[in-house]
Amino acid sequence: MKTPTRICFLTLLLAILCHGYSSRAEAQSQLAATPPMGWNSWNHFADKVDDAGVRAAADAMVASGMKAAGYTYVNIDDTWEGTRDANGNIQTNKKFPDMKALADYVHAKGLKIGIYSSPGPKTCAGFEGSYQHEVQDANTYAAWGIDYLKYDLCSFTRTMREAHTSDNGHQLMLDAYTKMHNALVATGRPIVLSLCQYGWQDVWKWGPSVGGNLWRTTGDIEDNYERMANIGFGQLNLAKYAGPGHWNDPDMLEVGNGGMTADEYRTHMSLWAILAAPLLAGNDLTKMTPETIAMLTNRDVIAIDQNPAGHQGDRISALGMTEDWGRPLADGSWAVGIFNRKDAPAEGVLRFEALGLKGRVHVRDVWAAKDLGAMEHEYRAQIPAHAVILLRISK
Please pick, from the candidates 59, 220, 222, 365, the single residue that binds ligand GAL as defined by CB under 6 A.
220
77-116: which residues touch ligand GAL (CB under 6 A)?
Answer: 77-78
Picking from 394, 177, 194, the residue whose alpha carbon sits closest to that of residue 300 is 394
**Cα distance from N-terminal residue to C-terminal residue, the chain:** 70
Determine if 284 is a binding residue for ligand GAL (CB under 6 A). Answer: no
Determine if 215 is a binding residue for ligand GAL (CB under 6 A). Answer: no
Determine if 222 is a binding residue for ligand GAL (CB under 6 A). Answer: no
Listed in order, strand segments (DSSP E) in the chain are 37-40, 73-75, 81-84, 90-92, 112-117, 148-152, 192-196, 214-216, 247-249, 279-281, 314-319, 322-328, 334-340, 346-351, 361-365, 370-375, 378-383, 388-394
Is 220 annotated in the active site? yes
Is 59 annotated in the active site? no
- DSSP letter at 369 equals T
Q: Of 220, 263, 300, 314, which is the active-site residue? A: 220
Phi-psi region of 201 (alpha: psi -120 to 50; beta: other; left: phi over 0): left
Output the smallest distance, CB 152 to ligand GAL, in A.
Answer: 5
For ligand GAL, which is the closer residue by CB, 42 or 144? 42
Picking from 385, 387, 253, 394, the residue whose alpha carbon sits closest to that of residue 329 is 394
185-204: which residues touch ligand GAL (CB under 6 A)?
Answer: 196
Residue pair 197/179 in contact by the 8 Å Cβ criterion? no
Q: Of 3-11, 68-76, 120-128, 159-167, which segment contacts ligand GAL by CB under 6 A?
A: 120-128
16-75: which residues touch ligand GAL (CB under 6 A)?
Answer: 42
Q: Of 54-62, 122-130, 242-250, 332-340, which segment contacts ligand GAL by CB under 6 A?
A: 122-130
- DSSP letter at 244 equals T
For ligand GAL, which is the closer residue by CB, 28 or 197? 197
Question: What is the contact surface with ligand GAL in residues (CB under 6 A)?
Answer: 42, 77-78, 123-125, 152, 154, 196, 220
Residues with catalytic function: 152, 220
